[in-house]
A and B are shown apart, each in its own frame.
Chain A
C-alpha cells in the first residue's frame, strides 16, 4: 500500500538553529500539507501546497517557516531560527484532492525537540 514517508523520525536541535523536515508524499497525489501537534494538543494545519506553490497557510505559518518541493518526490518544511515552542510532532500529508473529500494520508511524523 502506498504511504507517506517522513524523515527523520526524531530531530533534536538547539534553539536558533535551522531544521529541515522531509517528506515523500504518495506519488500520484497533488495536494501536500504540513500539520503540527504540540504534545497534548490538537493537530493544527500549517500549510497546503498545490501546483508547486503555497495555496493556503495558517497564522502559525509565519516567516520562520517555508516549504519547498525541490524535485518530483520530496516535500520539505524548513524552520529557521527554531524556538522552544516549535517543539512538536510535525506531520506531512498528501491527498489526490479529487473527488472532494478524498482521504488525506499522513506520514508517521517527525518529532522535533528544540532545546
Chain B
C-alpha cells in the first residue's frame, strides 16, 4: 500500500462548483497532515494544515478521520485561480519529513 494515496484526477469543474478531494495514508502513527498546492513547475506551498476537529479557511475545508486514515479537502465556489495540483501530505519519520501523495489535478473552467 502506498504511504499516501490520492486520486490523480484530473478534476475538470466549472467556476462556482464545489469539489472534494480525498486521500488515504498507511501509517496509523502519523500525527500531522497537510494540504499543499502546487502550480505547474513551481514549488509546493502550504494550503492548510488538517486537524481532527476539521478546519476551515474561507472557501476551503479540511477534514481528518484517523480511524479510517482518511483526509479530505473541500473547495467551495471554485475560482479559475484554484486550478493547480493539490497535494495530500503526511508528516512522517523521526525528522519531520513530509510524505507526499501523487497530487490531484484540478482544472476550473470558465
Contact = CB atoms under 8 A, between A and B. Distances in A.
Contacts of A101: 31-32, 49, 91, 96
A43 B32 contact: no
Contacts of B96: 31, 48, 95, 97, 100-102, 104
User: What class of interface size applies to chain B in its complex with A?
Assistant: 20 to 34
B5 to A, nearest CB: 11
Interface stretch (A11-19, A76-84, A106-114): A106-114
Contact of B44 (A43, A45, A50, A56): A43
B29 to A, nearest CB: 12
A89 interface: yes
Contact of B43 (A31, A33, A48, A106): A106
Contacts of B45: 106
User: What class of interface size applies to chain A in its complex with B?
Assistant: 20 to 34
Contacts of A89: 41
A107 B43 contact: yes
25 contacts: A31-B95, A33-B98, A35-B100, A42-B87, A42-B100, A42-B102, A43-B38, A44-B100, A45-B97, A45-B99, A48-B97, A55-B94, A56-B97, A93-B98, A95-B96, A100-B91, A101-B32, A101-B49, A101-B96, A103-B34, A103-B46, A104-B46, A104-B96, A106-B44, A107-B43
Interface of B: 31-32, 34, 38, 41-46, 49, 87, 91, 93-103
Interface of A: 31, 33, 35, 41-45, 48, 50, 55-56, 89, 91, 93, 95, 97, 100-104, 106-109, 111
